Amino acid sequence: MVLQGNFVRRLLMAVDIEKYSRRTAATHYDAQVRLLRIVQCACRYARIRQVEPQESGDGLMLVFPPGLNEARVVPALIRGFRHGLSENNRDPGEFGPIRARMAIVEGATARSPNGFAGPASILVNDLVGVPVLKRKLADARPDSDLAVIVPHALYADLVSQNYPGLTREHFSRVALTLREEPVVAWVCLPPAGPAPDPYGPEIRWDGVATVLTVSGLATVAAELAHRYRAASTAGGRAVVADGHHTRRGDHDGSDRLDPDHPSHPDDVDEPRHDVVHHDDLHQDDLHQDDHPHP
């Protein structure tokens, strides 16, 4: 018997940190916390307060609420992530400067007992790990710290239309084989450096880096802190197990913002029970040293 889930068309984004597995386990916690900060910056640019995350150590998949204005949200996510990378890399931690790959897709998605079901969740994770994207990011050093890939369907719907913040000339076509099937995708390498939000107030990076206010990300941060505290200790220094962990948000989207009338994530009057302070995540022995383009 096949159970039919509640499949709804949603935007999905997956991000992976470059060369994460080549670093020591002791630096992985720093990278994971910093990735959450960068993702929160992207969500703030897109005026999104709630996501459903699925975490995997070196990366993160986000499932966004349905009904978003994708022509506005997609370029804002790319620009915000680019800005977050730039701000983070001005003062990198133990892991060092972060470079990342990003995939964005749209498709029917449903919650499942172990995360999400549907071809979109498979595709976004396949795309973010394709060898050609890794090569393009490696070859782009030092001009870019981010490589973005989208499937042809999203390119045709959004990028090719040259909506504000999306310029088709910045994307190059790549032919892939995924799961023995030919796939066409498009890759963009936004330039490294600050990318202020052209449609909103300046976002203070110290605020982004101190408090997680995006519902869903705070859940991941709390679980990350729990795993860190539970990690074994060797020589007085925390060692974080490099296992994969999956967790999805417990929200049904009922308290999400109206996508056509978004307000800034900071404009919240009610108490936030999902706020996580990064100061609570860091342990004393963690840090020892201290024209618009998408």
Per-residue pLDDT, averaged over 10-35, amounts to: 91
Chain-wide mean pLDDT for the chain? 80
Give the model's confidence band at 233: pLDDT under 50 very low, under 70 low, under 90 confident, else very high. very low
Q: What confidence score (pLDDT) does residue 212 get? A: 75
Of the options 3.30.70.1230, 3.30.565.10, 3.40.50.300, 3.40.190.10, the CATH number for the domain spanning 8-194+204-281:
3.30.70.1230
> pLDDT tier at 219 (50, 70, 90 boundaries)?
confident
What pLDDT does 140 receive?
Answer: 97
State the pTM of this model.
0.78
Higher pLDDT, 271 or 110: 110
**pLDDT the model gives residue 196:** 92
Across residues 164-172, what is the average pLDDT? 96
Cα dihedral value 21, 126, 217, 49, nearest 10: 150
pLDDT category of residue 205 using cuts at 50, 70 and 90: confident
Residue 64 has pLDDT above 80, yes or no: yes
pLDDT for the residue 226: 76
